Chains A and B, each alone.
Chain A
Amino acid sequence: MDQEHDNNDLIEKPEKAEKPSVVAGDSKPADSVSTAPKPPQGMVERRDLRTGVNEAGFSRLSRRELLKVAPVLVLGAFAVPSLQEPLLRRGLGFSDWVSKQLFRRRHLAPTFRDYELTPFERFPINDYDVDDPGVIFENWTLTVSGAVQKPGEYRLAQIQALPRIRQNTRHVCVEGWDVIGRFGGTRLSDFLAMIGADTSARLVTVGCADDYYESLDMETALHPQTLLCYEMYDQPLTREHGAPLRLNVPTRIGYKQAKYLTDLKVTNVLDKIGYWEDQGYSSFYGL
């Protein structure tokens, strides 16, 4: 592989040659000469076996090798305004596809000891709009629709009647910060079983009291650590943290942990992915 160059401009010196000779059939014979094998002055004796090339030939050789590197310029496409956006969307899409391949339903997110928890008052409150969309708890129900046997309105007590899971898991924000929180709730998979969801459907989407919306693929929705969360730090969710019900998905990035849930739908159709995703963030973003 170290002889990438083509040999038109190079002439292996024939050992027996007595004079510089031109290779037969070379289309540009004038450029190519071999070193004299036994120069009268003996000045290139050491180089007897080396190939010779004249200056013009070397320039041409260099130019040709330079051209072979030209494919690098295809990356310039990313600098073209009309191409940039679709290219980056493809790139991000590829990353999401890889994320999906890497996701393993049985692989659990690391869990932590109680002493490793971030204190509750230092658990950040992130909203896109308001801290408290003013949910009236007495009237609150989760509206279930889509590919389920038992659609309708579900009260919090019905969700809380399912087995309660408590887990200390890491919450990672797309901004880069992370905290370890204690979350309690029911497995989304248990709830999906209760409502008779068609788990061969591709997606579970949720809507929120503040118009936020999110979606999870079914694999993630059925993950044993994916919770319909109604507790943090063993206390009922506070309004700022998404009362009365939020998602806790430790296998996904922070913006997937939708708060103030009002709607849940099992579906194959996705017209909107999620509030941040639809503005250009990764649509899968599995951790």
Chain B
Amino acid sequence: MSSTVVDIVRQAGEETEVLGRAVYEHPLVVRLCHWLNAIALFVMVGSGLQIFRAFPSFGSKIPQKDLLHWPKAFAIGGWLGGALQWHLTFMWIYIATGLVYLGYQLFSGNYRQVLFTHRDVSGVWPMVKHYFFFGPKPQQCEAYNPLQKHAYTTVIILGVLSVLTGFAVWKPVQFSWLAWMMGGFHWARLLHFLVMWAILAFVFGHLVMVLLHGWNNFVAMLTGWKKDPEY
């Protein structure tokens, strides 16, 4: 799908000088889903960690061996009941924005912008070399480079997994088949926890990239328009 491109121009009399370019990268649905989901994810992680504090272990209750002591200051809800209220409220926002996003991407065809496919495989290593080993910057000819596509595709899969593992933890009887696929309630809870850390690892990388050279990308996720794209 071709993006809308405009020239930013200055007109002086008969002359028209082209100052730069801008591309409409993110449709409104995608931007809304991105920010609503970001807020929901923040609440889900914070309240999830408070829930985890009630039993910070993945072993037996007797004897109980705690995995880690997560500080209360970095959790949401204040107590188990409060955290569950946040978690069981924002999960619907998290799921709804995820579904709307997936549905929109599929039906609009906009998924091609982010979906990592076999064509992107060859471009991964040059990007890794560029980011981590000071290699030359590969030519970019679309909104996302192969490594970005890989990251975004992965995190979308992780998002789906976070919901599936979450449902297995929330409803191990009604969705007993789901819990069974994950090895039972016990394993589903551990997977739910691990998926959270995987998503947090993405968020960390995502924020670092925005801080390093992502101002135009950041603005684009707000206005839809990316100024002076590299492609």
A268 within 8 A of B: no
Q: Which residues of A contact B61 (CB under 8 A)?
A: 122, 124, 173, 177, 179
Q: Which of A1, A39, A175, A276 contacts B27 (CB 8 A)?
A: A1
Closest residue of chain A to B186, judged by CB? A178
Q: Which residues of A contact B202 (CB under 8 A)?
A: none
* A155 to B218 Cα, complex, angstroms: 70
Quick check: which of B117-125, B132-140, B154-162, B169-177 contacts chain A, the rest being far away?
Answer: B169-177
Given contacts A92-B84, A92-B89, contact A176 B8 (CB under 8 A): no
Q: Are the C-beta atoms of B7 and A110 separated by less than 8 Å?
A: no
Q: Which of A19, A58, A177 contacts B22 (CB 8 A)?
A: A58
- Which residues of chain A in 175-220 are interfacial with respect to chain B, using CB atoms and an 8 Å cutoff? 175-179
B197 within 8 A of A: no
Q: Whole-angstrom distance from the CB of B141 to the nearest CB of chain A?
A: 15
Q: Which residues of B contact A92 (CB under 8 A)?
A: 84-85, 88-89
How many A-B pairs have beta carbons closer than 8 Å: the answer is: 194
Q: Which of A88, A104, A176 contacts B174 (CB 8 A)?
A: A104
Q: Which of B16, B27, B51, B88 contacts A20 (CB 8 A)?
A: B16
A91 within 8 A of B: yes
A143 within 8 A of B: no
Q: Whole-angstrom distance from the CB of B113 to the nearest CB of chain A?
A: 10
Q: Which residues of B contact A62 (CB under 8 A)?
A: 219, 223, 225
A287 within 8 A of B: yes
Q: Which residues of B contact A90 (CB under 8 A)?
A: 89
* A175 to B83 Cα, complex, angstroms: 11
Q: Are the C-beta atoms of A50 and B6 separated by less than 8 Å?
A: yes
A55 within 8 A of B: yes
Closest residue of chain A to B43, judged by CB? A78
* A94 to B224 Cα, complex, angstroms: 33
- Which residues of chain A in 229-287 are interfacial with respect to chain B, using CB atoms and an 8 Å cutoff? 250-251, 276, 279-282, 286-287
Q: Are the C-beta atoms of B8 and A53 separated by less than 8 Å?
A: yes
A162 within 8 A of B: no
Q: Are the C-beta atoms of A287 and B173 separated by less than 8 Å?
A: yes
Task: Please give the number of chain A residues whose Cβ is less than 8 angstroms from any Cβ of chain B in the complex.
Answer: 72
* A78 to B62 Cα, complex, angstroms: 38
Q: Are the C-beta atoms of B36 and A72 separated by less than 8 Å?
A: yes
Q: Are the C-beta atoms of A282 and B88 separated by less than 8 Å?
A: yes
Q: Are the C-beta atoms of A176 and B54 separated by less than 8 Å?
A: yes
* A19 to B15 Cα, complex, angstroms: 9
Q: Are the C-beta atoms of A69 and B28 separated by less than 8 Å?
A: yes
Q: Whole-angstrom distance from the CB of B18 to the nearest CB of chain A?
A: 5
Q: Are the C-beta atoms of B39 and A72 separated by less than 8 Å?
A: yes
Q: Which of A19, A91, A170 contacts B89 (CB 8 A)?
A: A91
A75 within 8 A of B: yes
Closest residue of chain B to A121, judged by CB? B62
Q: Mark B83-108, 1 if CB is under 8 A from A, else 0.
A: 01110111111000000000010001
B116 within 8 A of A: no
* A168 to B172 Cα, complex, angstroms: 15
Q: Are the C-beta atoms of A47 and B7 separated by less than 8 Å?
A: yes
A83 within 8 A of B: no
Closest residue of chain B to A65, judged by CB? B223
A3 within 8 A of B: yes
Q: Are the C-beta atoms of A281 and B55 separated by less than 8 Å?
A: no
Q: Are the C-beta atoms of B3 and A95 separated by less than 8 Å?
A: no
Q: Which of A61, A122, A173 contacts B225 (CB 8 A)?
A: A61
B200 within 8 A of A: no
Which chain A residues have a beta carbon within 8 Å of chain B's beta carbons?
1-5, 10, 19-20, 33-36, 39, 43-44, 47, 50-55, 58, 61-63, 65-66, 68-69, 71-72, 75, 78, 87-92, 94-95, 99, 102-104, 107, 109-110, 118, 121-124, 170, 172-179, 250-251, 276, 279-282, 286-287
Cross-chain pairs A/B with CB under 8 angstroms, 17 sampled: A1-B29, A2-B24, A4-B28, A5-B224, A33-B9, A44-B16, A54-B8, A55-B19, A69-B28, A69-B222, A103-B174, A109-B173, A174-B54, A177-B60, A250-B173, A281-B84, A282-B88
